Amino acid sequence: MTAEPHTAVPPVPDERTVLDTVTGMLHEVLGEYGLDDAEITMSTRFHDDLELESIDLVTLSAALRDHYGDTVNFAAFIADRGLEEIISLTVGDLVSHVLAAFSTAPATEAV
Amino acid sequence: MPKIRVGELDVHVQRMPAAGPPVDGPRPLVVLVHGMLIDSLASYYFSLGPVFAERGMDVLMYDLRGHGRTTRPATGYRLEDFVTDLDGLLDALGEGRPAHVVGNSFGGAIAYGFAATRPDRVRSVMAIEAEPPVRSWAAKMAEGLTGEEGGLVVKEVRTWLLEDPERNARPFQLAGRILDATTLAEDIPRSRVLDDGLAAIRCPVFALYGADSELSGQADHVAATLACCRTAVLPDQGHSVLVERPKETADLLLGWLEDDIHTPLEAG
C-alpha cells in the first residue's frame, strides 16, 4: 500500500505500525488482569483468546481515538455490527479498520 | 482513561460530542445510565452512544459507583447515593443544560429518582426495562439481592458462571466481586422510595419494555401514574432490550425525542 498523504499530518500508517500500536494498547488493557505479556497477532481474537470484556474495548477504543484522532471511530464500527459480534472480532479486523479509516476510499473495511 | 472527581469517587466518564455542523444555541445533552452488577458504560458506548452523537446530541456516559472503572467504595449503594453521584457529576463537569436521561434496568430507577430529585436538571427520562423506585421495586430488589443464598440475582449470577464454560465469564466474575466487596445487596432494598414523589416527575417520560419481561405488565400503570408518559413494548423480547435490540431501541428513543418532544436533531 502506497501512502499518499494529502496533508502533512497524520502520516498514513502501515499494517506493521498499526499492529504494534494496537498491541501496545492491548498490553496496557491486559495489564489490569496481570496478562500484559500475552502474545498478540493479527489472528488473536478479542473474546476467545484475550477474554476482553466490553469495558476493556471502551478503554481500547478511547486509546485509539487519543492516538489517531477522530479518524478512527471504533465505537461506531462496533455499533454498526452489534455488541454480539465483538465475540468474533480479531486484532486483524481492528488493524484493517484503522487502515481503512486512513485510506481515501470510503467503506473499504476488510471485514 | 478520563476520570472525574465526584465526592469520594473517581468516576470513569466517556463523552461523544455531537456530530454535524455548529448550530445556534446549545446541543441537546443526553446522559446514559447503565444497569446493575454485570453492566458498565460499555453497553452504551457500542450501541446508543455513537448513534445519539451522530444525530447531533452531546453524549455523556459514566460508570456507576462500584462498576466498570469507577471507584468501588465498600458502602453507600442506596438509590439516593447513585442519584447524588449523577448530580455531582454534572456539577463537576459544569454542565448547565437540562439532560435527557436514558436509564437501562437499574439505571432507569436512577433516572426516575434523579428526575424527581432534580426536576430542573432533567429534560426527559427514557427508561429501558426499568421501573420507578417505588415500594414494590424495593421489595423486588430485596428478593433479588438478599435472603437465602443471597437472593435471586446473586443466584442467577452464580448459575451463569457455572452453566456455560464457553461464555465470557469475566463480567460475571466482576459482578460476584461487587457483591462480595460491597454492601450493595443490603443497601439497594433500603433505598428511599418515591411512592409519594412520583408526582414530582413532571418531565416527559418514554418507557420501553420487552413483551416477555415481567416488567412489561407495569406499562399501563406507569403511564397512568406519571404526568407525561408514553410507553412502547417490543414483541418477542425479554429483559435484555438494550443488548439484544440496540437498533430498534435507538430508533424508538430518537423518534420519540424528535416527534413527541421536538428535540432538534441532525437528519438520520
Q: pLDDT tens for residues B71-121?
A: 999 999 999 999 999 999 999 999 999 999 999 999 999 999 999 999 999
Q: Is the pLDDT at B160 greater than 90, yes or no? A: no
Q: Which of B13, B37, B45 to mutate to test the interface with A (most CBs of A within 10 A)?
A: B45
Q: Is the pLDDT at B169 greater than 50, yes or no? A: yes
The closest CB to that of A55, out of B40, B50, B54, belongs to B40
Class of B3-136+188-260 per CATH? Answer: alpha beta
Contact status, residue A48 vs residue A89, Cβ threshold 8 Å: no
Set of chain B residues whose Cβ sits within 8 Å of the Cβ of A84: 243
pLDDT tier for residue B152 given thresholds of 50, 70 and 90: low
Cβ distance A83 to B47 less than 8 Å, yes or no, reads yes
Which pLDDT value is given to residue A90? 92
Cell of residue B266, nine digits: 441532525
Q: Which residues of B46-55 are buried (b: 16+ CB within 10 A; e: fewer)?
A: bbbbbbbbbb
Which pLDDT value is given to residue A108? 41
The mean pLDDT of A81-107, rounded to a whole number, is 79
Q: Which CATH number fits domain A15-102: 1.10.1200, 3.30.70, 1.10.8, 1.20.1080?
A: 1.10.1200
pLDDT tier for residue A107 given thresholds of 50, 70 and 90: very low
Q: Is the dihedral of CA A88, A35, A64, B266 positive or negative?
A: positive
DSSP 3-state assignment of B200?
helix
* pLDDT tens-digit series, residues B7-60: 999 999 999 999 988 888 899 999 999 999 888 999 999 999 999 999 999 999
Residue with cell 459507583: B65
Distance to chain B for A87, nearest Cα, Å: 9
* pLDDT tens-digit series, residues A11-66: 678 999 999 999 999 999 888 777 777 889 999 998 888 888 888 889 999 999 99
Q: Is the pLDDT at B178 greater than 80, yes or no? A: yes
Chain B residue closest to A85 (CA)? B46
The mean pLDDT of B149-166, rounded to a whole number, is 63
Q: Is the pLDDT at A111 greater than 80, yes or no? A: no
Q: Is the pLDDT at B203 greater than 50, yes or no? A: yes
The span from the CA of B235 to the CA of B124, in Å, is 24
Which pLDDT value is given to residue B172? 67
* pLDDT tens-digit series, residues B220-255: 999 999 999 999 999 999 998 998 899 999 999 999
Residue with cell 459514566: B62
Chain A residue closest to B63 (CA)? A55
Domain spans of chain A, in order of start? 15-102
The span from the CA of B15 to the CA of B217, in Å, is 34
Q: Between chain A and chain B, how many beta carbons pairs sit less than 8 Å apart?
A: 60
Q: Is the pLDDT at B174 greater than 50, yes or no? A: yes
DSSP 3-state assignment of A64?
helix
Domain spans of chain B, in order of start? 3-136+188-260
Cβ distance B45 to A58 less than 8 Å, yes or no, reads yes
ipTM, 2 dp: 0.80
Cell of residue B105, nine digits: 434496568
Q: Cβ of A55 under 8 Å from any chain B Cβ?
A: yes
CA atoms within 13 A on the CB side of A22: 29
Chain A residue closest to B243 (CA)? A83
CA atoms within 13 A on the CB side of B186: 7
Residue A88 vs residue B173, higher pLDDT: A88
Cβ distance B46 to A83 less than 8 Å, yes or no, reads yes
Q: Is the pLDDT at A3 greater than 70, yes or no? A: no
pLDDT tier for residue B150 given thresholds of 50, 70 and 90: low
Which pLDDT value is given to residue B151? 65
The span from the CA of B146 to the CA of B151, in Å, is 5
Q: Cβ of A61 under 8 Å from any chain B Cβ?
A: yes
